[in-house]
Structure 1
Amino acid sequence: MVKEKLQINENGVENTVTINDDVETIKSKKRKAAFTWYIFLLPSFIGILLFMVYPIMESFRLSFFRSNGTMETFIGLQNFQRVLTSNTFWNTVWNTFFIGFFQIFITIPLGFIFASLINSIRRGQNFFKVIYFLPNVTSIVAAAMIFQFVLHPEMGVANYILDALGLPSSTWFSDPSTAKWGVILLAVWHWIGFVIIICLANLQAISPEMYEAAKIDGASGLQQWLFITIPNMSGTFAFLLITGWIGSLQRFNEVYVLGGPNGSPARSIQTMGAFIYERGFTGFEFGIASAATYIMFVIILIFTFINLRVSKMQL
């Protein structure tokens, strides 16, 4: 395509310049530029295919086979039937929900209270942010190993403090009746920093004009907290509730460190994730493990959907 462009030289004389604008050349350059970007994206795309898509598809395929890793036999839905009729599996479901429920409904209110206290002070906020957030950046495996010593029935710091206060000591991870509470204590300690940071960010986003108007109307500090702060935090609470449940239903690392794949003592802290690991990598029943994985996926999906619906109703 040919174009004419009017130019004025140094002497003020107008000249007409002919420009050959090759549209195909421009398109070719654009295609080359786009192709370059695709080349940069290719490693990530290959990684997603190899480490996400392929394992998902292979796990789904294995759920219909009896497999020990080398030999396979197609058995249809029998793996799903075995998992759904297993008392051990439903015990892990109970353990998972029990630990998750108390972790969430202790940590969110407690974290919100701490965030409100930090937000009320003028100096030292960053110091408290760092102190409370440190457990969250600590490796959960390292934290679980530390808690084994802290909650040791004989040499642990926790029982030493209880004895000093005149309270009865606990056997913690040595007793099935108290082992879950040890995991809950660890989960609260590890997650509360995240809750505080998220709540604090939302607290600081609430308009000060709302509090000023409430003061003019004679509202006390407690009334402002109850009728201004808490309603404006509903979206944050919904976010923490949903993400907390998703994380809790996938719990594995800490219970594996504390009680092994079978959740000792007496499978009292074995979660769904630990059940899948035990069947797959200890018992070499990869078909059972794959079926349990998809059952856990459905449970998480249903529970997340319920949480979203309840959260929307509250909002």
Structure 2
Amino acid sequence: MVNGTQTQTNSLPGLKENWQASKKRKHSQYIWYVFLAPTLLGILFFMVYPIFESLRLSFYNSNGTIETFTGLNNFKRVLSSGNFWNAVWNTFYIGIFQIAITVPLGFIFASLINTVRRGQNFLKVIYFLPNVTSIVAASMIFAFVLHPEMGIMNFVLAKLGLPTSTWLSDPSTAKWAVILLSIWHWIGFVIIICLANLQSISSEMYEAAKIDGASGIQQWLFITIPNMAGTFAFLLITGWIGALQRFNEIYVLGGPNGSPARSIQTMGAFIYERGFTGFEFGIASAATYIMFIIILVFTFINLKVSKMKI
């Protein structure tokens, strides 16, 4: 009896220590939730709530203070609006040429940089700098560069004896001004992504090709390009998502209505114009969800074409 009592007495401190250690572990786990709380609240307030509020407003005729339920009327008005379809056309026009030029050009530059033995990191930094530059600041610089009278572009063209242009004042050239800005701003990202994939391709494949007598161009065509398929798919998808959401540079260069003559107004600019200029928040919300569906469908098509699993 004495030994049994002594054993129970000795085990009590151990049980107490285990209980205190377990309590401390649970307390430390709860602390993480305290640190996560501000971020989670921010996501709920600034992302989740606006999504559902925008969906609700899409069924109402609202100017921000007075609301009237209209059902699907806002969606019908957007889909029957000539300005909206013009914005869709501008969005796809700019996006198609931006991606069609930037991805191949960035891949070629990345291939050339990959052959450089010295100064490769310096070239990476130089090409990637535009991508980390604020698109608003870059747009303001481009607006100055393309100014018809004081711009550097027309000055250089005149010195070379080439015809000058009014650029942002002419609907026929305004889109290409935006395309040039988009290429300049995005090509650094394409180069870095392509370069990362190029450097991950096994050198043994190239050595085997050399033994078989393959030239440098043949190696590039039959080894490099096939191994870049996944990267090209990624760049196409991310490029299209960014292109369909384009707004900042449009607002700086042409305002919310995409001047001149709505020639560069995109879907994002159309939504901003109807919501924050016309105070038609129901129309703007409906247009937002139509744009979301367009992005979703286009991303799905890109994934299928690229033979990637969703």
| Same structural fold, with TM-score higher than 0.5 when normalized by the shorter chain | yes
**1:300 alignment partner, one of 295, 298, 302:** 295
CA drift of 1:285 comes to 0.4
Q: Give the Cα–Cα distance (whole angstroms) in 2 for the partners of residues 135 and 231 of structure 1.
A: 28
Q: Report 1 or 2 for greater relative contact order, CA contacts < 8 Å, sequence distance ≥ 6.
A: 2
1:33-71 C-alpha deviation (Å, 9 max, x unpaired): 221111111111111111011111111111111111111
Q: Give the Cα–Cα distance (whole angstroms) in 1 for the partners of residues 83 and 132 of structure 2.
A: 33
CA drift of 1:24 comes to 5.1
2:25 maps to 1:34: no
**2:115 alignment partner, one of 101, 112, 120:** 120
Return the letter of the residue paired with 2:33.
Y
Corresponding residue for residue 189 of structure 1: 184
Structure whose residues are more often strand by fraction: 1
**2:219 alignment partner, one of 220, 224, 233:** 224
Return the letter of the residue paired with 1:21.
L
SS in 2 for 1:222: helix
Corresponding residue for residue 92 of structure 1: 87
Return the letter of the residue paired with 2:51.
I
SS in 1 for 2:306: helix
SS in 2 for 1:284: coil
Return the letter of the residue paired with 2:167.
W
1:73-121 C-alpha deviation (Å, 9 max, x unpaired): 1111111110010010000000000000000010000000001111111
SS in 1 for 2:68: strand
Structure 1 stretch displaced more, 124-133 or 165-174: 165-174
**2:130 alignment partner, one of 135, 139, 150:** 135
Q: How many percent identity over aligned positions?
A: 77
TM-score by length of 2: 0.93
CA drift of 1:18 comes to 4.5
SS in 2 for 1:33: helix
Moved over 6 A (4+): none
1:127-170 C-alpha deviation (Å, 9 max, x unpaired): 11111111111110111111111111222222222223332222
2:42 maps to 1:21: no
Written as runs of structure 1 = structure 2, the 5 A alignment for 1:57-96 is 57-96=52-91
1:267-290 C-alpha deviation (Å, 9 max, x unpaired): 000000000000010000000001
2:47 maps to 1:52: yes
Q: Give the Cα–Cα distance (whole angstroms) in 1 for the partners of residues 73 and 20 of structure 2.
A: 61
Corresponding residue for residue 13 of structure 1: none
CA drift of 1:313 comes to 6.7
**Unaligned stretches of 5+ in structure 1?**
5-16
CA drift of 1:171 comes to 1.6
Return the letter of the residue paired with 1:154.
E
State the superposition RMSD in angstroms: 1.6
**1:242 alignment partner, one of 231, 237, 244:** 237
Q: Give the Cα–Cα distance (whole angstroms) in 1 for the partners of residues 97 and 159 of structure 2.
A: 27
Q: Give the Cα–Cα distance (whole angstroms) in 1 for the partners of residues 256 and 92 of structure 2.
A: 18
Q: Give the Cα–Cα distance (whole angstroms) in 2 for the partners of residues 37 and 124 of structure 1.
A: 44
CA drift of 1:312 comes to 1.1
Corresponding residue for residue 14 of structure 1: none
Q: Give the Cα–Cα distance (whole angstroms) in 2 for the partners of residues 163 and 209 of structure 1.
A: 51
Corresponding residue for residue 167 of structure 1: 162
**Unaligned stretches of 5+ in structure 2?**
5-9
Return the letter of the residue paired with 1:109.
P
SS in 2 for 1:73: strand
Corresponding residue for residue 7 of structure 2: none
CA drift of 1:26 comes to 4.9
SS in 2 for 1:312: coil
CA drift of 1:31 comes to 2.5
Structure whose residues are more often helix by fraction: 2
2:99 maps to 1:101: no
2:237 maps to 1:252: no
